[in-house]
Copies of this chain bind each other. A is one copy, B any other.
Amino acid sequence: VGTAATEVTVGAELGALRDYVDGLEALKATAHLLGWDEKTKMPHKAAAGRARQKGLLAGMYHQRFTSPETLRLIEGVENVDPDNVEARLVRRDYEIATKLPEEHVVEFTQAASLANHAWESAREQDDFTIFEPHLSKVLELSRRSAQYFGYETEPYDALHDQFEEGSRAAELEPLFEQLRSPINALIDRQPEPDTSALERTYPIADQVAYCERIADAIGYDLQAGRIDETVHPFCTNIGPYDVRLTTRYQEDWLPAALFSVIHEAGHGIYEQAFDRLELPAVTGQAPGLGMHESQSRMYENTIGRSRAFWEYHYGELQRTFPGALGSVDLDGFVRQINTAQRSFIRVEADELTYNLHIAVRFELERAMVNGDLEAKDLPGAWNDTFEKWLGMRPPSDREGCLQDVHWTGLFGYFPTYTLGNVYAAQFVEECERAIGPFEDHLRRGEIAPIREWFDEHVYRHGRTLTGKEFVQRITGGPVDAGPLIRSLEQKFG
């Protein structure tokens, strides 16, 4: 498969397609700037005007992308090179974009927006009845989307495919099943968590400076990015050589900023690689959310929470926060950033229990989309399913089925979190086979050998392979939870 720019002979037709996609991507990146600015800098009163700007730009993008010109340029390349990977990718995007009738997109967008507002109230008041009619509507429209997209086995696959091309519910089911007992066995063996040292006073200004240093140290390029403050951390691509991170700072909880910055920097390193390796815009993207998450989770958990990493970095962290960490030794710090226990809220869950939270959601949203579970029955089903996977029942819907925003429109998204963990562990095993144990490098502050391996085996291929194809190509086998279980057993066993 031809991938990086240098491998492809660029004919006039391909050049024309690339220029066209470049323009579309510049438009999409501009929309990302509007979103980034909204969450980081925009004045309070500008919200309504900004919503209009975003809607307008999204409409212009859609109109351009679904125009006959797009098809003409795709066909131009296909006529001279029928197997051209870039034409294939743009054709796939084009077909997806044109599968949903415009009135359905409009209806869906409005229903999702209303559902979002209702969900906020419902969660705040712990009252599922506020959300139920909206969930029901969005679910109905999502089922209709699945029919428009089409599928082979079950409707859920049509939606999940939008987030992780080629991944199927029938494969996810055994994957989650494979994780259930080993993880539960490990959780049972964890000591009572102690994170007292991380709750001391960490002056925000010092956190800001330290987070920039640690992002730089793991390979995030601050000359082609920046870190700002938001309520919910994210990473966004604003254009060529402009990939930005956000985080939130809590004075009395160091992990809030520190690990979200390392996590988002993982996303950022992936996105920055496409510019650094000079991939064309068509291919210079991650193929799906699972692959993207594999990088953020590898940087956060495998690297950022490892003892070896902190062997090199802990001294500077202590010097930055002498009041909080002066009396805490390396082992104590590493223990405190790696605690695990069962809890009700996904976004507060640790590395070990996280995938069980996802299993619950996968099972429920699959049943909903496939028509086996209705909105009104969700609260009961949630509690039963949660108990099945984690062995306890939520005391309220707020700590149960009302906690996540995803079901206001993003059915099929959840499994990508676990796929990210699974991919990451599979890739790390292969990478270590090639360059030796991560800890030997991290202990010396070396990150380059890891990134170079990912440049070669992942980043430079952009989205010319799916997540599943990456795994096959790198490991010679299928997506497999074995390596993830082994790595968790090594850390928490």
Contact = CB atoms under 8 A, between A and B. Distances in A.
A60 B63 CA distance: 12
A49 B223 contact: no
B223 A56 contact: no
A223 B45 contact: yes
A223 B44 contact: yes
Contacts of A222: 43
A13 B271 CA distance: 46
Contact of A23 (B45, B48, B49, B56): B56
**Interface of chain A, main secondary structure:** helix
Nearest to A57: B30
B43 A37 contact: no
Contact of A224 (B33, B46, B226): B46
A251 interface: no
A255 B205 CA distance: 28
A247 B264 CA distance: 31
A56 B27 contact: yes
Interface string A127-142: 0000000000000000
A37 B238 CA distance: 11
Given A27-B56, A29-B53, A48 B223 contact: no
Interface in A50-93: 50, 52-53, 56-57, 60
A43 B223 contact: yes
A439 interface: no
A235 to B, nearest CB: 14
A41 interface: yes
Contacts of A43: 222-226, 241-242, 244
A170 to B, nearest CB: 42
A242 to B, nearest CB: 4
Interface in A5-55: 22-23, 26-27, 29-30, 33-34, 37, 41-46, 48-50, 52-53
A225 B221 CA distance: 30
Contact of A26 (B44, B52, B241): B52
Nearest to A48: B240
A57 B26 CA distance: 9
A4 to B, nearest CB: 19
Contacts of A241: 43, 45-46, 48-49
Contacts of A52: 22, 26, 239-240
Nearest to A55: B26
A42 B238 CA distance: 9
Contacts of A33: 33-34, 37
Contacts of A224: 43-46
Given A46-B224, A226-B43, A241-B46, A53 B30 contact: yes
Nearest to A60: B60
Nearest to A241: B45
Interface in A444-477: none
A44 to B, nearest CB: 5
A33 B49 CA distance: 13
A41 B239 contact: no
A107 to B, nearest CB: 21
Given A37-B238, A43-B223, A50-B239, 19 more contacts: A23-B56, A26-B56, A26-B57, A27-B57, A29-B49, A33-B33, A33-B34, A41-B226, A42-B238, A43-B226, A43-B242, A43-B244, A44-B223, A45-B221, A45-B242, A46-B224, A48-B240, A49-B239, A49-B241
25 contacts: A22-B52, A26-B49, A26-B52, A26-B53, A26-B57, A27-B57, A29-B49, A29-B53, A30-B30, A30-B53, A33-B34, A41-B41, A41-B226, A42-B242, A43-B222, A43-B224, A43-B226, A43-B244, A44-B223, A46-B238, A46-B241, A46-B242, A49-B242, A52-B240, A60-B60
